[in-house]
Chain A
Amino acid sequence: MDMRILVIEDDVAAATYMARGLEESGHNVSVAHDGRDGLMLAAAHDFDVLVVDRMLPGLDGLSVIQTLRATGKRTPVLVLSALGNVDDRVKGLNAGGDDYLVKPYAFSELIARLEALTRRGQAGAEPGPATTLRYADLTMDLLARRVERRGKRIDLQPREFRLLEVLLRHPEQVLTRTMLLEKVWDYRFDPQTNIIDVHISRLRQKLDREFEPPLIQTVRGAGYALRVPDQAA
Chain B
Amino acid sequence: MALLSFVYVAAVDFMERQTEETIEAELTGLREQYRDLGIFGLGRIIAQRAAAETEMESIYLLIDDEGWIIAGNLDTWPEAEDLVTNRVRFSIEPSGNLGPRRFLGRTVELDDARLLVARDVEDKLRTQALLVNAIGLGSGLMLVFGVIGGFVMSRWMLSRIETINRTTAQIMDGDLGRRIKVEGSGDEFDALAANLNAMLERIERLMAGMREVTDNIAHDLRTPLSRLRSRLEVALMSDIDPTIARRLLEETVADAEGLIATFNALLSIARAEAGEHRASWERVDLGLLVQDIQELYEPLAEEREIEIRAAADPAVVVMGNRQMLAQALVNLADNAIKYTPVGGRVTLAATHIESAGKRAPLLMVTDTGPGIPADFRAKALERFVRLDPDRSTPGNGLGLSLVNAVAQLHNAALELADNAPGLKVSLVFTPPPPATAAQRDG
Instruction: Point out residues on A near B: beta carbons under 8 Å.
Output: 84-87, 90, 102, 104, 106, 159, 185, 187-193, 195, 198-199, 201-202, 221
Complex contact B300–A193 (CB within 8 A) = yes
Closest to B394 in A: A192
* Across-interface contacts of B153 in A (CB, < 8 A): none
In the complex, whether B243 has a CB less than 8 A from a CB of chain A is: no
Q: Closest A-chain residue to B260, C-beta based?
A: A104
Q: Which residues of B contact A192 (CB under 8 A)?
A: 261, 331, 334, 395-396, 399
Q: Does B183 contact A (CB under 8 A)?
A: no
The residues of A that contact B299 with a CB separation of less than 8 Å are: 195, 198-199, 201-202
By the criterion CB–CB under 8 Å, are B263 and A104 in contact?
yes
Question: How distant is A108 from chain B, measured CB to nearest CB, in Å?
Answer: 9
Question: Does B264 sit at the interface, judged by CB under 8 A?
Answer: yes
Once the chains bind, are B300 and A189 in contact (CB under 8 Å)? no
Whole-angstrom distance between the alpha carbons of A169 and B264 in the complex?
Answer: 29
Q: How far is the CA of A87 from the CA of B299 in the complex (A)?
A: 32
Given contact pairs A85-B277, A199-B299, A189 touches B268 in the complex (Cβ within 8 A) = yes
Q: With A85-B276, A86-B280, A198-B303 given, is the CB distance from A190 to B264 under 8 Å?
A: yes
| 12 extra A-B contacts, CB within 8 A, seeds A86-B280, A185-B292, A189-B326 | A85-B276, A85-B277, A87-B276, A87-B277, A106-B260, A185-B296, A191-B334, A192-B331, A192-B395, A193-B337, A199-B296, A202-B299
**Contact of B257 with A by CB under 8 A:** yes
6 tightest A-B CB contacts, nearest first: A198-B299, A198-B300, A189-B327, A192-B334, A191-B330, A104-B260
User: Is B157 at the interface (CB under 8 A from chain A)?
Assistant: no
B323 at the interface (CB under 8 A from A): yes
Cα of A106 to Cα of B280 in the assembled complex, Å: 28
* Inter-chain contact A221/B268, CB cutoff 8 Å: no
Q: Is the CB of A106 within 8 A of B300?
A: no
Q: Is B250 an interface residue (CB 8 A)?
A: yes
Chain B positions within 8 Å of A159 at CB level: 295
Enumerate chain A residues within 8 angstroms of B295, measured Cβ to Cβ: 159
The contact sample of 12 A-B pairs, CB cut-off 8 A, is A86-B323, A87-B276, A87-B277, A104-B263, A187-B327, A189-B323, A189-B330, A190-B264, A192-B399, A198-B299, A199-B299, A202-B299
**Cα A102 to Cα B267 with chains together (Å):** 11
Question: Does B297 sit at the interface, judged by CB under 8 A?
Answer: yes
By beta carbon, the residue of chain B nearest A103 is B260
Cβ of B279 under 8 Å from chain A:
yes
Secondary structure dominating the interface of B: helix
Contacting pair B276 A195 (CB below 8 A): no
Q: Closest approach, in angstroms, between the C-beta of B297 and any C-beta of chain A?
A: 6
Note all chain A residues with C-beta closer than 8 A to B330. Answer: 187, 189, 191
Cβ contacts B367-396/A at 8 Å (1 or 0 each): 000000000000000000000000000011
B residues neighboring A (CB under 8 Å): 250, 253, 257, 260-261, 263-264, 267-268, 271, 276-277, 279-280, 292, 295-297, 299-300, 303, 321, 323, 326-327, 330-331, 334, 337-338, 395-396, 399
A contact residues around B268 at 8 Å (CB): 189
Contacts of A193 in B (CB 8 A): 300, 334, 337-338
List chain A residues, Cβ under 8 A from B326.
187, 189
CA distance A190 to B257 in the complex (A): 11
Hey, which chain A residues are within 8 Å of B280, CB to CB?
Answer: 86-87, 90
Contacts of A106 in B (CB 8 A): 253, 257, 260
Which of B263, B303, B323, B338 counts the most chain A CB atoms within 10 A?
Answer: B323
Do B277 and A195 touch across chains, with their CB atoms under 8 A apart? no
Nearest-CB residue, chain A, relative to B395: A192
Q: Complex: how many Å from CA A102 to CA B271?
A: 14
Partner of A187, one of B253, B300, B323: B323
Residue of A84, A90, A190 most packed against chain B (CB within 10 A): A190
**Cα distance A198–B260 in the bound complex, in angstroms:** 23
The one of A102, A188, A221 in contact with B323, judged by C-beta atoms closer than 8 angstroms, is: A188
Closest residue of B by beta carbon distance from A196 = B296
Residues of A within 8 A of B297 (CB): 195
Q: Which residues of B contact A187 (CB under 8 A)?
A: 323, 326-327, 330
Complex Cα–Cα for A185 and B331 (A): 16
- Residues of chain B within 8 A (CB-CB) of A86 are 277, 280, 321, 323
Cβ contacts under 8 Å, A190 to chain B: 261, 264
Closest B residue to A108 using CB positions: B253
Q: Which residues of A contact B292 (CB under 8 A)?
A: 185
Do A85 and B250 contact each other (CB < 8 Å), given the known contacts A159-B295, A187-B327? Answer: no
Q: Are A195 and B300 in contact (CB under 8 A)?
A: yes
A76 to B337, CA, bound (A): 40
CA distance A193 to B395 in the complex (A): 9
- List B contacts of A199 (CB < 8 A): 296, 299
Distance in angstroms between the alpha carbons of A85 and B334 in the assembled complex:
22
B302: nearest residue on chain A (CB-CB)?
A198
Contacts of A85 in B (CB 8 A): 271, 276-277
Distance to closest chain A CB from B406 (angstroms) = 11
Asked whether A84 lies within 8 Å of B323 as measured between CB atoms, the reply is no
Assess the B250–A221 pair: CB atoms within 8 A.
yes
What's the Cα separation between A195 and B331 when bound, in Å?
A: 12
Q: Write the nearest CB–CB distance from A35 to chain B, whole angstroms.
A: 25
Please name all residues of chain A whose beta carbon is closer than 8 Å to the beta carbon of B327 when the two chains form the complex. 187, 189
CB-CB under 8 A from A195, the residues of chain B are 296-297, 299-300
Name the CB-closest residue of A to B396: A192
Q: CA separation between A198 and B337, bound complex, in Å?
A: 14
Chain A: which residue is nearest B398 at the CB level? A192
Q: Which residues of chain B are near A191, meaning CB under 8 Å?
A: 330, 334
Cα–Cα distance between A86 and B337 once the two chains are bound (Å): 28
Once the chains are docked, how many angstroms separate the CA of A59 from the CA of B330? 39
Nearest-CB residue, chain A, relative to B270: A85
> Complex: how many Å from CA A84 to CA B338?
28
How far is B334's CA from A198's CA once the two chains are assembled, in angstroms?
A: 14
